[in-house]
Structure 1
Amino acid sequence: MNTVKRTYFSPEYPPYNSSLKNIILLNDTGTIDLDTLNSLKELRELRNNKVVHGQIPDENITYSEAIKYYDLSKKVTRVLKNITREHNRIR
């Protein structure tokens, strides 16, 4: 959401958008690359479908899945924090 607010004039106020809509806006404007898009989708899927909505009980989440989520989160956070409005114009 913060990256959308920094880089794109969304027709709607970004906090009112779903995380998926904000991801789509970043992708559609060329603000994020395919690797970042796929990482965001994977993080969203793991969080929403498997953990929050109970498809996987907490005790069945493996250590390696937790580490993968952490590593993907750190990577995506670094990428998104470094994107500026000027960066978006260059693309």
Structure 2
Amino acid sequence: MAETHPPRGYIAGKEDYLRRLRRIEGQARGLQKMVEDDKYCIDILTQVSAMTSALQSVALGLVNDHLSHCVVEAARTGGPEADEKVREAADAIARLVRS
């Protein structure tokens, strides 16, 4: 039986996230082709930077959605779940800052 869960914070923007992730996937394939074709190092690095920025943008959007939906909802409910959601968000933000 499939696990049920409450709607995710990103659900309203799901199609946008999927479109952006598909674009990033295409960038990754393009980078592979650039290396296969022995393109100039700086050109490859420029594309890596663009892909990194795109991933960071997706990550920041997901953080915002998580905070404004999941964390706010847990805070309304209170209790240990609220503390856990805040801890999860803080840990995720710390991972993003370190990356």
Which TM-score applies when normalising by structure 1? 0.42
Larger of the two Rg values belongs to structure: 2
- Compute the TM-score of the two structures, normalised by the length of structure 2: 0.40
